[in-house]
A and B are shown apart, each in its own frame.
Chain A
């Protein structure tokens, strides 16, 4: 090591700090959706994506949602609004329940044996438990951490969401246009337009993930859930997907789970910080990153733990 360099700074981790839980949901949220670090006056650097012009509409809401796997409580009494026109990022250390909460939004948690949910999740005011599950999942789509194209051609992957029950109808000619639209929105059309018949699993990792996003988009979802969509990708693919997320937020409510705090700062209008199953802090990106209320949040976004 170079003796002239000062030793790296040692951060003090305040273990004794009380896990302050700030009151959430209805309070401390300005509804205009502008993200300018207002209020606290700490905004010494710009946080958050460029503001969008689209009106902000409430689409989904979690009310006192509790999810447990057997005796283990993974998510504890979380209230959270999900809005169209904004990107909501969920951050927090591994095992804090953010993925579980995300999966419960389109009832994928039901597939896990032993998972139980309390509280209410609504989509446009309607309880998701009362919706037919396939109907719900058509409206609330999900993109996974690992790229998972189906073992079929690029075209069929995108068309899969448009066809009923996995059949081969409607035929290719009728679907070409919506498939092209979806692939274009996902920024993949120019790369794959000449080989739509190639197996999707031959694409590169970044292309596969954008294909998965196109596949979800083709089905015309109203809410898009993304579970660390860039964790397996290189920075260039990540950048493309982040641009896409910012475009999508105008028509679709986007929720993204990420371990990458810079990514959350780049794309998120709202940030929810979870810790040990609790929603610790919720606010605009500027509020959570530059002026966190809770000590836990301060430590996490400051890099003290995680």
Chain B
């Protein structure tokens, strides 16, 4: 076309409808190693999805066929005859109680640790020490924490948390297990809260200070509401971790089939000082290698456990995504 052309273009019939051009380049220009890499990535993703689906499907089928509504509301009992061994009401109660205790301890503690790390963090050396402490707890296997907890809480000083057994504390109770459970939830709460705090731009803190507010009221009125979704995410992740843990239950909850309040204690306190079991320990006990050896019950309980965990995960995702938009500052 020449630059001086002024003639209008010849009339055309109908303009071609807009069409989408393909954003992909042809694989023929790819070297072999990239093609193999791409195939591996596809393969890995699909394999993982298939595995997750098959676990879910297997547990669903097994669980739904074995689960009877009565199991959810009857106490378990140690009977050889499975028709008289009851359901798993107590393990469900145990799971919920233990989770509640662990979260009630872990969340305030974890939020405080994260706040100190991000907002204060002086001296630097101490901050690094605190960070590594959190990492150590996060990395320690729960059975190690449980073993440590058992020896600590068996000291007579901690008799009030369980009960007296001969000349030491028994060292096994809801309170003891919940305390150690809070340790495995703590790093998740710290991590999520810390990330959320780091997402808050500095000028937001300064805006509060520039109104003549103290740092403390800035944290209370501005930062805590801003990181609430982060705290919620950490809490849900921590709950999932507590619900799924078995080692601490077996070592520190006494692993009695039913909830056994401490003899002669105050009404609510006696349950906290007493022993019990959770769904995970119940599944372990009823698996083919456990004492109960009633796999049908184990499958039913596993299905209930899976439902609880999947529900919590969905909740965590919703909280994290749903609230993300609101706190979008220009950075």
Give the residue of B201, B210, B217 whose beta carbon is less than 8 angstroms from that of A166: B217
Q: Given A151-B327, A152-B225, A166-B218, verify A142-B212 contact (CB < 8 Å).
A: no
Say yes or no: is A106 at the interface (Cβ < 8 Å to chain B).
yes
CB interface residues, B 203-232, toward A, < 8 Å: 203-204, 206-214, 216-218, 220-222, 225-226
Contacts of B328 in A (CB 8 A): 201
Interface membership of A111, Cβ < 8 A: yes
- Alpha-carbon gap, A142 to B203, bound state (A): 11
Is B39 in contact with chain A by the CB < 8 A criterion? no
Q: A144-B203, A150-B225, A152-B225 are in contact. Are A138 and B326 (CB under 8 A)?
A: no
If A146-B329, A160-B211, A215-B211 touch, does A165 touch B203 (CB 8 Å cutoff)? Answer: no
Given contacts A146-B201, A150-B225, A151-B222, are A219 and B212 in contact (CB under 8 A)?
yes
Flag if B222 contacts A150 (CB, 8 Å).
Answer: yes
**Would B212 and A148 count as touching, CB distance under 8 A?**
no
A165 and B213 form a contact (CB under 8 A):
yes
Q: A81 interface residue, CB < 8 Å from B?
A: no
A218 to B216, CA, bound (A): 21
Q: How large is the interface on A (under 10, 10 to 19, 20 to 34, 35 or more residues)?
A: 20 to 34
Is the Cβ of B330 less than 8 Å from the Cβ of A147?
A: yes
| B211 neighbours in A (Cβ, 8 Å) | 137-138, 141, 160-161, 215-216, 219
In A85-119, the 8 Å CB interface with B consists of: 106, 108, 111
B 71-108 to A, binary, CB cutoff 8 A, 1 in contact else 0: 00000000000000000000000000000000000000
* Residue among A148, A161, A212 with the highest chain B CB neighbour number at 10 A: A148
CB pair A135–B330 under 8 Å, yes or no, is: no
Once A148-B201, A199-B326, A232-B330 are accepted as A-B contacts, the answer to whether A137 and B209 lie under 8 Å apart by CB is yes
Residues 282 to 331 of chain B near chain A (Cβ within 8 Å): 326-331
Q: Indicate if the CB atoms of B207 and A165 lie closer than 8 Å.
A: no
Q: Is the CB of B208 within 8 A of A150?
A: yes
Report if A202 contacts B (CB, 8 A).
yes
Q: Flag if A148 contacts B216 (CB, 8 Å).
A: no
The reply to whether the CB of A40 lies closer than 8 angstroms to some CB of chain B is: no
Give the complex CA separation of A215 and B226 in angstroms.
18
Residues of A within 8 A of B206 (CB): 108, 111, 142, 144
A111 touches B326 (CB 8 A): no
User: In the complex, which residue of chain B has the Cβ closest to the Cβ of A202?
Assistant: B326
Bound together, the chains give a CA A56 to CA B212 distance in angstroms of 26
Q: Which of B51-65 contact A (CB under 8 A)?
A: none
**B212 partner residues in chain A, CB cutoff 8 A:** 134-139, 141, 161, 219
Q: Which residue of A lies closest to B200 (CB)?
A: A151
In the assembly, what is the distance between CA of A167 and CA of B210, in Å?
Answer: 17
Question: Which one of B217, B329, B331 lies within 8 Å of A165 (CB-CB)?
Answer: B217
Nearest residue, chain B, Cβ from A136: B212
Please tell me if A263 contacts chain B, counting CB pairs below 8 Å: no
Beta-carbon contact of A151 and B226 below 8 Å = yes
Which residue on B lies nearest to A106, using beta carbons?
B210
**Which B residues lie within 8 Å of A139 (CB)?**
212
Q: Distance in Å from the Cβ of B321 to the closest Cβ of chain A? A: 16
Q: Contact flags (1/0) for A231-242 with B, using CB distance below 8 Å?
A: 010000000000
A52 at the interface (CB under 8 A from B): no
A160 and B326 form a contact (CB under 8 A)? no
Residues of A within 8 Å of B209, CB to CB, are 108, 111, 137
Q: Considering only CB atoms, which chain A residue lies closest to B228 in the complex?
A: A151
Q: In the bound complex, do residue A160 and residue B221 qualify as a contact, i.e. CB atoms below 8 Å apart?
A: yes
A145 at the interface (CB under 8 A from B): yes
| B111, chain A: closest CB distance, angstroms | 16
Q: Is there contact, CB below 8 Å, between A145 and B203?
A: yes
A160 to B220, CA, bound (A): 12
- A148 to B217, Cβ gap below 8 A? no
> Considering the chains assembled together, what is the distance between the CA atoms of A215 and B217 in angstroms?
16
Q: How far is the CA of A194 from the CA of B156 in the complex (A)?
A: 63
Q: How far is the CB of B4 from chain A (nearest CB, A)?
A: 12
The answer to whether residues A201 and B221 also contact, given A108-B210, A212-B207 and a CB cut-off of 8 A, is no
Known: A146-B201, A146-B331, A152-B225. A165 touches B210 (CB 8 A): no
Contacts of A167 in B (CB 8 A): 217
Check A148–B203 contact: CB distance below 8 A: yes
Q: In the bound complex, how far is the Cα of B331 from the Cα of A2, in angstroms?
A: 41
A150: chain B residues at CB < 8 Å are 204, 207-208, 221-222, 225-226
* Docked complex: B7-44 residues within 8 A CB-CB of A: none
CB distance from A39 to the nearest CB of B (A): 37
Report B119 CB to chain A, min CB distance, Å: 12
Can you sample 19 A-B contacts with CB below 8 Å? A134-B213, A137-B210, A141-B212, A142-B210, A144-B207, A145-B203, A146-B201, A146-B331, A147-B329, A148-B201, A150-B226, A151-B327, A152-B225, A160-B208, A160-B221, A165-B216, A201-B327, A216-B211, A219-B211
Q: A144-B203, A148-B207, A212-B207 are in contact. List 9 more A-B contacts (CB 8 A).
A: A106-B210, A134-B213, A138-B212, A139-B212, A150-B221, A151-B225, A166-B213, A199-B326, A201-B327
Point out residues on B near A: beta carbons under 8 Å.
201, 203-204, 206-214, 216-218, 220-222, 225-226, 326-331
Pairs A-B, 4 closest by C-beta atoms? A166-B221, A166-B217, A138-B212, A142-B210
